Amino acid sequence: MAEKRMSLKLLIDTKANRVLFAEAGKEVVDFLFTLLALPLGSIVKLLSKVQMVGSIGSIYSSLENLDSTYMQPNQDKNILLNPQLQQQNQCQNNLLLLAPAPAKAEVYYGCDNSYDNSSCTKYVTKVSGTQCPSCDRRMARALQCVHPKSGMASGVNGGEEGLVKGVVTYTIMDDLSVTPMSAISSVTLLSKFNVKNVDVLKEKNVSFGMQEALDLLKASLASKTVLTDVFLASKE
């Protein structure tokens, strides 16, 4: 299966060797916005602990290496080490969701007393044996989670999938700020960057897949010049 790739057009100041801004469509903007949905544990796992800025990688390693004898009997550390994205139907364009992961059936547990006690049916848990808040019995009755079909991920009225509309071209700044694009905004941006000589400007079409998506994620956590860092740092 071919790797999924996205494309965007960079406007580069060749004299300063920096990206002024980029033009992109819905697919790239959806990808950037859905980075906000990635749980912190997933980010550490994607980038690897050694690449994480700061000390969160150390916390991840500590929990990963902690012997199960120190864990509460009703707690599963894997929930934090390998968290599940809550709204996957909104994040289908996120390249980072394509990272290899074993497919698992999602199972929850309900109270055995729920047949007789309607208040028990209000509660489910991911950890078998958890105490029911209603009757104090153990919640061990397996319940299969049913996800909507892929076709239901589109808008309420059958519109496009994802977050933003696809009839617009968007401007993405070097720090990943995103705005709808217009001719006026492009002129304003050139004025903002104090570009006097348009001869130093160059357009460059780039495509990116999983590796570049990881590079963008990593740079976004530590830099205000993300596009320059990822697409120009060692390629110009």
Chain segment 96-155, per-residue pLDDT in tens? 764 444 445 678 999 888 677 778 888 999 888 899 998 888 899 988 887 665 443 444
Residue 203 has pLDDT above 90, yes or no: yes
What integer is the mean pLDDT of 182-204?
82
pTM above threshold 0.95: no
Find the range with the poorest average confidence among 11-15, 151-155, 212-216, 226-230.
Answer: 151-155
CB 6 within 8 A of CB 226: no
Residue 40 has pLDDT above 60, yes or no: yes
> Who's near 9: CB < 8 A, 6+ residues apart?
22, 23, 24, 203, 204, 205, 206
For residue 182 the two structure tokens come to 């217009």
- Give the pLDDT confidence score for residue 159 in this predicted structure: 57
> Who's near 159: CB < 8 A, 6+ residues apart?
none
d(CA 151, CA 212): 28
Closest CA to 174 of 233, 232, 230, 226: 226
Chain segment 41-99, per-residue pLDDT in tens? 888 888 887 777 777 788 888 888 888 888 888 788 888 888 766 555 455 556 776 44
- Give the pLDDT confidence score for residue 206 in this predicted structure: 94
- Calculate the average pLDDT of the chain: 81
- Give the pLDDT confidence score for residue 100 in this predicted structure: 44
> Who's near 25: CB < 8 A, 6+ residues apart?
166, 169, 170
CB 164 within 8 A of CB 29: yes
- Give the pLDDT confidence score for residue 153 in this predicted structure: 43
For tokens 């120190």, what's the residue?
70
Q: What percent of the chain has pLDDT over 90?
A: 24
